[in-house]
């Protein structure tokens, strides 16, 4: 598949100080300063000085689109919490005053990026927020208020895009996004994540391959604890190129999976930024082979500042063609035979379940 070298591309970086108008509390993994830290790093690395990279100001998620992706009752609940500052979205997602306004801007950044790509203003977008794939139609959770991934898909559908690929490598399965599009062949979701038996949100099993007309278009590839670069690359190479070649998407929404890094505090995979580069390179080339370059990257998780910033720099480097090298990294140990056996069995099971349905 798709292994030609993509040309240098124009990249839109979504940024506004309004992204920082949130407060989940000092002990929460998503802390005030997260998005500014990313912006400042991108600036310090010189990316924002490149003629191929431009800053785009995000627009709030429109109330019209918000009412497409979420139930009226849930929206009203978020608004009540936003006015009073009392209450919670879920046990892991505390409310705060202004949460409704902030959720609209951090999710709206992704949709703003989609619009900029479709208008031809840029080839790709990168957002320091987004990837809020745990939010569902009637409730939020997992640090997610409004599901920007679903909002992007509906925006794309409204603009005539018929096949959208969600390439989701966040270490936590995108349960909300799966719920939205489980029976929709107009969306293919490929999710690589840590084994749901012990990792939130405890779903995203291999057998969950979609339903009805969408059967075969929902691909879940779980990894055992302590999986590293070698087994991850094996699974990527066996599954992703064939699936993308079959599907021939018209737009790719990409969540790189910074929280699968061995330094991350909320998960147990052992990837390095070398794998971030490998995945991003493959998805970028696929976008040029099948989508005329149309793709956007949303940060998603990532809860160690170093690995998060290394990942961001690597993604922008791959998409823009500008050089960036993170520090050398070495995972604490290599993949053992038990890990290899489980990953190979999971890949074989997915091939057995999905490939015949799709005719691969």
Residues identified as active-site:
134
Tell whether the torsion through CA atoms of 41, 44, 46 and 52 is positive or negative.
positive
Contacts 24+ apart (CB under 8 A), 348-351: 349/206, 350/206, 350/219, 350/220, 350/221, 350/239, 351/238, 351/239
Report the candidate in 147, 184, 146, 179 with the shortest Cα–Cα distance to residue 165.
Answer: 184
Q: Shortest CA distance to 172 belongs to which of 208, 137, 210, 198?
A: 198
Tell me the C-alpha distance between 193 and 212, whole Å.
24
Q: Where are the alpha helices (DSSP H) in the chain?
A: 34-44, 63-69, 72-84, 99-118, 148-158, 175-181, 229-247, 273-290, 305-320, 337-358
Over the Cα atoms of the chain, what is R_g?
Answer: 19
Phi and psi torsions of 156, nearest 5°: -65, -40
Residues 284 and 6 sit within 8 Å (Cβ to Cβ):
yes
CA distance 194 to 259: 10
Indicate the length of the chain as a whole number: 360
């Amino acid at each position: 598949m798709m292994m030609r070298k993509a040309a240098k591309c124009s990249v839109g970086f979504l940024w506004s100080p309004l992204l920082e108008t949130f407060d989940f509390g000092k002990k929460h993994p998503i802390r005030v300063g997260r998005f500014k830290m990313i912006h400042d790093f991108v600036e310090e690395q010189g990316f924002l000085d490149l003629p191929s990279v431009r800053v785009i100001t995000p627009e709030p998620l429109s109330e019209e689109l918000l009412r497409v992706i979420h139930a009226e009752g849930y929206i009203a609940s978020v608004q009540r919490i936003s006015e009073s500052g009392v209450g919670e979205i879920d046990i892991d997602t505390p409310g705060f005053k202004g949460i409704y306004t902030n959720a609209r801007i951090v999710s709206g950044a992704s949709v703003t990026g989609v619009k900029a790509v479709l208008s031809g203003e840029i080839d790709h977008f990168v957002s320091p927020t987004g990837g809020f794939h745990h939010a569902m139609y009637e409730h939020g959770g997992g640090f997610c208020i409004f599901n920007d991934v679903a909002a992007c898909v509906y925006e794309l559908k409204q603009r005539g895009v018929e096949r959208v690929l969600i390439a989701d490598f966040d270490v936590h399965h995108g349960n909300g996004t799966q719920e939205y599009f489980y029976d929709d062949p107009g969306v293919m979701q490929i999710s690589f994540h840590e084994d749901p038996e012990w990792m939130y949100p405890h779903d995203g099993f291999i057998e969950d391959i979609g339903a009805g007309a969408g059967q075969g278009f929902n691909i879940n590839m779980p990894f055992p604890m302590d999986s590293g670069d070698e087994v991850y690359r094996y699974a990527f190479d066996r599954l992703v190129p064939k699936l993308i070649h079959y599907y021939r998407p018209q737009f790719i929404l990409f969540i790189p999976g910074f929280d699968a890094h061995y330094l991350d505090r909320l998960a147990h995979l052992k990837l390095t930024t070398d794998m971030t580069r490998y995945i991003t390179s493959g998805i970028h080339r696929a976008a040029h082979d099948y989508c005329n370059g149309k793709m956007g990257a949303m940060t998603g998780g990532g809860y160690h500042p170093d690995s998060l910033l290394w990942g961001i720099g690597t993604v922008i480097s791959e998409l823009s063609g500008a050089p960036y090298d993170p520090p050398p990294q070495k995972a604490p140990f290599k993949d053992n035979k038990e890990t290899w056996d489980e990953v190979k069995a999971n890949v074989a099971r997915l091939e057995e379940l999905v490939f015949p349905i799709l005719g691969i």
